[in-house]
Structure 1
């Protein structure tokens, strides 16, 4: 397996160096010369120290960047415990306080509404579909367009795959059960929940269990078995709902463009290759951990009740989703461009998903 990863790394590095589409014209440095200098880059992450999977991704990135650059790149990682601002990563990188960041794009919707489209969207693309959109459907170019005006470049940072819909203290039987419900749910899904009468909020990972246990919130979504088991949510909220809001949640690496443009071109390529390969590793890691942890949850916690929202509830959520997207597209031209790009690509690729993956899985029913 180690030899396969090494071979894959070498191939990705060659592709990165050759593929000009990974660097749009605005991002290209004016001069690019190879040197033997050592460049130390500081990375701030949203996650606490040694946070599993997400934190493993930044460690993998550090290892890859330093190894592939033969030590010319040095990465210093500061977790939330050090910088004390889990949701301050965007500002850190924009200001140059940190050179790099690792977080989730939808956390920045209050700073720029168009950032929220690059994590995951309710009723949208799966991880595989969204990766294809990023790489070949114009997604990366649109992400460059959004972040460039902030002096930042954003690169995929690891996908959790389809996330579970969350832990609830009570069963949801109708849309009325969501009204007044206090729920931790970020991104556009939070807007949808508010539209149907819930009270969404965003709380950092380290505070979630306490908020649920003390009744500050009535429900929450986090990720899935890969990370939920260790959080202990099942001890407080026994209803575990299947997903709809984040079918392919992609984290992000952020790069300060001024710092990026100052790097030699070969180190730029190594930096992005290390990010993309560590993102791939996180996708595999997350799926493996979910499979293992779900087996443990079924065995050790049989009282967990896996539920899916009733069709009538989904109908209301979809209607709210369509309404809010339409309003956003009407008042923001760039939002309209991104919404249409995602919609059109989903229509095209879902037709293939339906006769490939979906048909295969349905054959076991």
Structure 2
């Protein structure tokens, strides 16, 4: 839309272009500002396609202007800015944007809630999380549009991690809930702006990250400033969503709402295969990170601790208890289903 407006403004200088009537177009076009949690390199894969598709189809009726991590407001202030209407829409997880809802703790990486990326859309669309998220966000004036899966959560570090003892004292950039959980194993969660992570790794402010899978490590440059990738993961898939200011959403005609949701779904689908294939390919063919592993028997203590963490969270409120019960039931069903849903 920016390019189109520049063209119209420039063309309007000449008599031949006068019939284009740029001011009328500007008045009739709905414009939204969306900010993503992702920096420019990552946003190209996780949201840019969604925005481009929407703008192409909506045309003169509506255009979305996309902003990257921290461009308009810090990621931790995204929710407040959207609620106020400073930003019309957001792509993030609940945890990172400091959402004041009962479901915030489950956004991003809730420890071991999922094993594979397909677990997330099934939990939302078949096990009832979608309705809970919609209810919680409606209470605070925000439309929860849809949730999808991203990559699994792994450690990428400057020093090798071969045992839980190696995590002791490591200063790690991670999500609030993941950091709260892993602190019991000696991890020291450190919060810095997303765009500052690479420099913080270079200067020694950070010893590593537990923010993504290996695809993002390569895509955003973190594989250039870390040396090792731990194959054990905290959770099988990041749970993120698209949200919008409720008033702005309700003002849209129904067909534009449908188009927005359809483009979100296409974005979720793209990420399913981009991450799934990318994670495997870079483990096999990547030349920047050496793979390490903590033995399964030792890592089982982390998985057991996660179940205790679930109960700790469930005790905090009725809504959290509902979500934890769904996560427990889902994982129990997958284990009973056996291969290929769960192995061992």
Give the TM interval when normalised to the shorter protein.
Answer: 0.7 to 0.9
Provide the residue aligned with 2:33 in structure 1.
42
Provide the residue aligned with 1:33 in structure 2.
none
Contact 2:157–2:226 at 8 Å: present in 1 too?
yes
The SS at the match of 1:195 is: helix
Provide the residue aligned with 2:325 in structure 1.
340
Provide the residue aligned with 2:152 in structure 1.
162
Higher Rg of the two aligned structures? 2
TM-score by length of 2: 0.81
1:314-333 correspondence runs (5 A): 314-333=299-318
CA shift in 2, pair 1:75/1:234, >3 Å: closer
The alpha-carbon deviation at position 79 of structure 1 amounts to 2.2
The alpha-carbon deviation at position 43 of structure 1 amounts to 0.8
The alpha-carbon deviation at position 316 of structure 1 amounts to 3.4
1:274 aligns with 2:279: no
Contact 1:102–1:157 at 8 Å: present in 2 too?
no
Provide the residue aligned with 2:240 in structure 1.
251
Which segments of 5 or more consecutive residues in structure 2 lack a partner in the other structure? 1-26
Bigger RCO of structures 1 and 2 (CA < 8 A, at least 6 apart): 1
Provide the residue aligned with 1:8 in structure 2.
none
TM-score by length of 1: 0.77
CA shift in 2, pair 1:81/1:128, >3 Å: closer
For the residues of structure 1 that align with 2:124 and 2:301, how far apart are their CA atoms? 29
Taking only aligned residues, the RMSD between alpha carbons, in angstroms, comes to 2.7
Count of residue pairs brought into register by the alignment: 317
The alpha-carbon deviation at position 160 of structure 1 amounts to 2.5
For the residues of structure 2 that align with 1:253 and 1:289, how far apart are their CA atoms? 23
The alpha-carbon deviation at position 118 of structure 1 amounts to 3.5
The alpha-carbon deviation at position 181 of structure 1 amounts to 2.1
Provide the residue aligned with 1:127 in structure 2.
117
> Which of 336, 339, 343 is matched with 1:355 structurally?
339
Provide the residue aligned with 1:202 in structure 2.
191
Provide the residue aligned with 2:9 in structure 1.
none
Contact 2:202–2:225 at 8 Å: present in 1 too?
yes
The alpha-carbon deviation at position 240 of structure 1 amounts to 1.1
Which segments of 5 or more consecutive residues in structure 1 lack a partner in the other structure? 1-35
